[in-house]
């Protein structure tokens, strides 16, 4: 814990000067840790923002959507869209989704070219890892799928942000995320792709008591608030990494 | 080479038991998900973790015990004992699998939350129990944290011929083991798993550490002593441990990752645990060099009451390992059902270690009273040919 506290203080110090001046997420969403593993620029997003039209595609599995008739509206892709629109006045923001449960990274790569051709996004937000861990896919194969997906998206003119598995305290001793998270972090670093560390953020919410993820419930209220926060923090990341002036030197 | 079996010591090296016991504690702590106490375990400060220690010492003690049997009673008797041990571990593994099934079924049926509809699909594998349970019995299904026992079963199963070779031509045995390790990396050999993928601990790769442990037990450590005690090797070990520590810090402080030159990153990642990455072996060797330096065989602390709990845990490693897996499930259950406050995490972790030590003490007590019973006493420890580390 002392180590984490030290890192928290160090990160607050480092991030202090770049805190966004625009509408900040509600206090409950705030995390001490930096939510991205590495900040890399998103040049295509920057160009899209300059052109006043930002198309985003969220590719994901079951944890990118919430159940029920209203599930899609309160899930994080929809929340991301409204947070981005709020943060980027004058820019037309559209977030499309290619989300279906029980899909491994390889499954998503297979359909990716078709979806990219249809949506032509400037940014692909790719949530994956959970299903691969549940099905115990060969970790090397998982890394290769990530490589392929990132290359396909980039060749189609889109930047990529990876989103890792969510923190699920109840199933932690049943689903071994470890290797998959590590491989994901390494692939992200290799390709200079930002990794939105959803696991670490949710873990912190849980540790600090912001959200309790162990309650058995079928109500959507907490889940909706969690997704709202994820959408807002993702928007913050996209806005930060895709700021035109950040890429001025390119 | 055939006479490399000079008896070198008359009593068991307590350091083996001590460090195997400590490794069992670390494995228990690491197996509790999101356990704050696991910050103290070595995997957070370098490349290797308690698994390397466990496998190396298991190879060492297997060669020590069964090597003596092979010398005194012949190949058949010794091989039969190894098979029996392997069977015992298999039964233990199946027992743990039953506990795992109970846990998974409980969690999925008692917990419903719209956030986790995906994760709850983990029960789906039980929709085909005919396949899943059979696959588990064939050691192909991979329940979380239960990968060490299948590895140990396979290693022991194939150890008799290797031990035979180790006793006759230790260097040739070591070369054969290294060749298998190299070929495994080259040809991507591994055992298949269900529903897909491969074994988490590739036995073709991990056998290297097991055989190396056996080689050390049968006189190798005397041959290595000159190297292990050289100041140059010790300095290299320290440098390597510091390097690994710095890299490990970038995993926890992502902002530090930018200081790792791209080329270094390309060279070291991914650090493959499944196939026992060379970086992990080197890290284990470096730790071993420093440990042998800091803790000599005749270290007085080995006989202190403080070291006693770890030593007795190390002496009953199979039972204590299985208990540890069960306790880590139980500890996680407490965290999610009762509280995950730091204080609770510390208390539960300590309680687990106390339970493991108490169980080990109980097993030792049983063994003692069984020996006292009627009938012939089992042979006491006879002067063996095991040596441990320096001197």
Please state, in angstroms and rounded to a whole number, the distance separating the CA atoms of residues B362 and A143.
Answer: 46
Please state, in angstroms and rounded to a whole number, the distance separating the CA atoms of residues B166 and B383.
Answer: 19
Residue pair B1/B171 in contact (Cβ under 8 Å)? The answer is yes
Mean pLDDT over A52-64 rounds to 96
Look at residue B271 in the predicted model and tell me its pLDDT.
87
pLDDT exceeds cutoff 90 at B386: no
Residue A54: strand, helix, or coil = strand
Buried b (16+ CB within 10 A) or exposed e, A150-162: bebbeebebbbbb
Mean pLDDT over A173-198 rounds to 90
Look at residue B385 in the predicted model and tell me its pLDDT.
37
Mean pLDDT over B161-180 rounds to 96
Residue pair A239/A88 in contact (Cβ under 8 Å)? The answer is yes
Calculated CA dihedral for residues B61, B66, B69, B75, nearest 10 degrees: -160
Residue pair B317/B89 in contact (Cβ under 8 Å)? The answer is no
Residue A215 — pLDDT band, cuts 50, 70, 90?
confident
Mean pLDDT over B343-368 rounds to 96
Mean pLDDT over B183-190 rounds to 94
> Measured between CA atoms, how close is B93 to chain A, in angstroms?
16
Please state, in angstroms and rounded to a whole number, the distance separating the CA atoms of residues A79 and A228.
Answer: 5
Mean pLDDT over B202-216 rounds to 97
Residue A4: C-alpha distances to residues A16, A32, B188 (Å) = 18, 10, 38
pLDDT exceeds cutoff 60 at A44: yes
Percentage, residues of chain B above pLDDT 90? 66
Domain span at residue B94 reads 46-297
Residue B130 — pLDDT band, cuts 50, 70, 90?
confident
Is residue B135, in this structure, part of any structural domain at all?
A: yes
Is residue B243, in this structure, part of any structural domain at all?
A: yes
pLDDT exceeds cutoff 80 at B190: yes
Cα–chain center distance at B153: 12
pLDDT exceeds cutoff 70 at A38: no
pLDDT exceeds cutoff 50 at B81: yes
Please state, in angstroms and rounded to a whole number, the distance separating the CA atoms of residues B119 and A72.
Answer: 18
Note if the pTM is more than 0.90: no
Look at residue B377 in the predicted model and tell me its pLDDT.
55
Mean pLDDT is lowest, of A62-66, B169-173, B340-344, for B340-344
Question: Does residue A208 belong to the interface with chain B, where contact is any CB pair within 8 Å?
Answer: no
Beta bridge partners of A95: A56
Question: Does residue B111 belong to the interface with chain A, where contact is any CB pair within 8 Å?
Answer: yes
Predicted confidence (pLDDT) per residue in B39-73, tens digit: 899 998 999 999 999 999 999 999 999 999 999 99
Cα–chain center distance at B219: 22
Please state, in angstroms and rounded to a whole number, the distance separating the CA atoms of residues B108 and A163.
Answer: 25
Please state, in angstroms and rounded to a whole number, the distance separating the CA atoms of residues B319 and A8.
Answer: 40
Look at residue A35 in the predicted model and tell me its pLDDT.
56
pLDDT exceeds cutoff 90 at B156: yes
Which chain B residues touch A137 with a CB distance below 8 Å?
Answer: 196-197
What's chain B look like in SS3?
CCCCCCCCECCCCHHHHHHHHHHHHHHHHHHCCCCHHHHHCHHHHCCCCHHHHHHHHHHHHHHHHHHHHHHHHCHHHHHHHHHHHHHHHHHHHHHHHHHHHHHHHHHHHHCCCHHHCCHHHHHHHHHCHHHHHHHHHCCCECCCCCCHHHHHHHHHHCHHHHHHHHHHCHHHHHHHHHHHHHHHHHHCCCCECECCCECCCCHHHHHHHHHHHHHHHHHHHHHHHHHHCCHHHHHHHHHHHHHHHHHHHHHHCHHHHHHCCHHHHHHHCCCCCCCCCHHHHHHHHHHHHHHHHHCCCCCHHHHCCCCHHHHHHHHCHHHHHHHHHHHHHHHHHHHHHCCCCHHHHHHHHHHHHHHHHHHHHHHHHHHHHHHHCCCCCCCCCCCECCCCCCC
Look at residue A37 in the predicted model and tell me its pLDDT.
58
Please state, in angstroms and rounded to a whole number, the distance separating the CA atoms of residues A15 and A9.
Answer: 10
pLDDT exceeds cutoff 70 at B137: yes
Q: For B130, list phi and psi in degrees, rounded to 5.
A: -55, -45
Question: Does residue B196 belong to the interface with chain A, where contact is any CB pair within 8 Å?
Answer: yes
Is residue B116, in this structure, part of any structural domain at all?
A: yes
When CB atoms are compared, the residue of B34, B195, B257 closest to A189 is B257
Look at residue B257 in the predicted model and tell me its pLDDT.
75
- Cβ–Cβ below 8 Å for A175 and B122: yes
**Closest-CA residue in chain B for A182?**
B270
Selected for mutation to probe chain A from B32, B106, B111, B119 (highest A CB count within 10 Å) is B119
Beta bridge partners of A36: A196
For A:34-53, CB contacts with B below 8 A are: 34, 36-38
Mean pLDDT is lowest, of A47-51, B33-37, B292-296, B307-311, for B33-37
Please state, in angstroms and rounded to a whole number, the distance separating the CA atoms of residues A122 and A241.
Answer: 13
The better pLDDT of the pair B56, A217 is held by B56
For A:145-164, CB contacts with B below 8 A are: none
For B:8-47, CB contacts with A below 8 A are: 31-34, 36, 39
- Cβ–Cβ below 8 Å for A134 and B122: yes
Please state, in angstroms and rounded to a whole number, the distance separating the CA atoms of residues A130 and A134.
Answer: 6
Mean of all residue pLDDT scores within chain B: 88
Q: Which of A31-40, B80-89, B121-130, B367-376 has the highest mean pLDDT?
A: B80-89
**H or E segment to which residue A184 belongs:** helix A178-191
Look at residue B176 in the predicted model and tell me its pLDDT.
97
- Cβ–Cβ below 8 Å for B257 and A37: yes
Is residue B222, in this structure, part of any structural domain at all?
A: yes
Strands (E), A67-147: 92-99, 123-127
Look at residue B122 in the predicted model and tell me its pLDDT.
82
Which chain B residues touch A186 with a CB distance below 8 Å?
Answer: 269-270
> Which residue pairs from B103-106 have beta carbons closer than 8 angstroms and sit at least 24 positions apart in sequence?
B103/A173, B103/A174, B103/B329, B103/B333, B104/A174
Is residue B376, in this structure, part of any structural domain at all?
A: no
Q: Which of A34-38, B105-109, B129-133, B187-191 has the highest mean pLDDT?
A: B187-191
> Measured between CA atoms, how close is A173 to chain B, in angstroms?
6
What are the residue ranges spanned by the domains of chain A? 27-247
> Which residue pairs from B74-80 have beta carbons closer than 8 angstroms and sit at least 24 positions apart in sequence?
B75/B160, B75/B164, B78/B160, B78/B163, B79/B160
Predicted confidence (pLDDT) per residue in A141-172, tens digit: 999 999 999 999 999 999 999 999 999 998 88
Beta bridge partners of B295: none
Q: Which of B234, B207, B217 is nearest to B386 (CA)?
A: B217
Q: Which of A184-193, B3-12, B235-244 has the highest mean pLDDT?
A: B235-244
Question: Does residue A3 belong to the interface with chain B, where contact is any CB pair within 8 Å?
Answer: yes
Please give the ipTM for the structure prediction: 0.83
CATH of A27-247, one of 3.40.50.300, 3.30.565.60, 3.40.50.1110, 3.40.50.150: 3.40.50.1110
> Measured between CA atoms, how close is A179 to chain B, in angstroms?
9
């Amino acid at each position: 814990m002392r180590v984490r506290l030290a890192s928290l203080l160090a990160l607050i110090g480092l991030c202090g000067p770049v805190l966004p001046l625009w509408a900040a997420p509600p206090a409950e969403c705030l995390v001490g840790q930096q939510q991205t593993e590495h900040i890399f620029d998103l040049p295509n997003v920057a160009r899209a923002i300059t052109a006043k039209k930002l198309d985003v595609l969220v590719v994901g599995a079951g944890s990118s959507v919430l159940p029920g008739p209203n599930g899609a509206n309160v899930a994080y892709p929809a929340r991301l869209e409204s947070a981005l629109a709020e943060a980027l006045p004058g820019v037309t923001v559209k977030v499309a989704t290619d989300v279906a449960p029980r899909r491994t990274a390889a499954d998503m790569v297979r359909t990716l070219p078709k979806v990219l051709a249809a949506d032509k996004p400037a940014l692909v937000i790719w949530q994956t890892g959970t299903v691969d861990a549940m099905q115990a896919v060969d970790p090397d194969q998982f890394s290769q799928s990530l490589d392929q997906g990132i290359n396909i998206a980039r060749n189609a003119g889109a930047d990529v942000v990876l989103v890792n598995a969510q923190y699920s305290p109840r199933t932690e001793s049943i689903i071994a995320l470890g290797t998959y998270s590590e491989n994901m972090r390494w692939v992200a670093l290799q390709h200079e792709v930002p990794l939105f560390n959803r696991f670490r953020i949710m873990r912190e919410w849980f540790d600090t008591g912001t959200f309790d993820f162990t309650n058995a419930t079928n109500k959507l209220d907490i889940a909706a608030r969690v997704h709202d926060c994820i959408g807002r923090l993702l928007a913050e990341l996209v806005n930060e990494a895709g700021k035109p002036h950040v890429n001025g030197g390119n | 080479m055939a006479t490399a079996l000079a008896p070198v010591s008359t009593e068991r090296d307590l350091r083996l038991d001590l460090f195997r016991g400590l490794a069992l504690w670390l494995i228990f702590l690491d197996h509790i998900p999101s356990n704050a106490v696991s910050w103290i375990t070595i995997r957070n400060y370098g490349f290797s973790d308690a698994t390397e220690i466990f496998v190396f010492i298991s190879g060492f003690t297997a060669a020590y015990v069964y090597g003596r049997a092979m010398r005194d009673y012949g190949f058949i008797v010794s091989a039969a004992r190894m098979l029996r041990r392997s069977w015992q571990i298999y039964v233990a593994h199946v027992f743990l699998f039953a506990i795992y099934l109970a846990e998974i079924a409980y969690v999925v049926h008692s917990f419903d939350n719209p956030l986790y509809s995906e994760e709850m699909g983990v029960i789906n594998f039980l929709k085909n129990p005919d396949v899943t349970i059979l696959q588990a019995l064939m050691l192909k299904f991979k329940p979380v944290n239960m990968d060490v026992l299948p590895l140990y079963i396979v290693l022991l199963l194939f150890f008799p011929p290797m031990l035979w070779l180790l006793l006759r031509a230790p260097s040739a045995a070591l070369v054969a083991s290294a060749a298998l390790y190299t070929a495994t990396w080259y040809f991507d050999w591994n055992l298949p798993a269900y529903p897909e993928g491969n074994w988490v601990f590739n036995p073709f790769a991990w056998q290297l550490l097991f055989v190396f442990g056996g080689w050390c037990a049968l006189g190798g450590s005397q041959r290595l002593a000159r190297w292990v005690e050289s100041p140059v090797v010790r300095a290299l070990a320290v440098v390597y441990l510091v390097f690994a520590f710095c890299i490990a810090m970038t995993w926890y402080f992502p902002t530090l990752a930018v200081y790792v030159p791209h080329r270094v990153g390309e060279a070291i990642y991914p650090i493959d645990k499944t196939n026992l990455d060379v970086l992990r072996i080197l890290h284990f060797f470096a730790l071993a060099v420093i440990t042998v330096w800091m803790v000599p065989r005749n270290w007085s602390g080995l006989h202190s009451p403080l070291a006693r709990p770890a030593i007795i845990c190390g002496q009953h490693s199979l039972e204590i390992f299985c208990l540890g897996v069960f306790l880590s499930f139980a500890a996680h259950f407490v965290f999610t059902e009762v509280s995950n406050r730091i204080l609770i995490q510390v208390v539960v972790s300590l309680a687990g270690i106390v339970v493991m030590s108490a169980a080990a003490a109980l097993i030792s007590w049983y063994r003692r009273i069984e020996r006292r019973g009627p009938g012939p006493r089992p042979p006491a420890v006879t002067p063996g040919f095991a040596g441990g580390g320096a001197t």
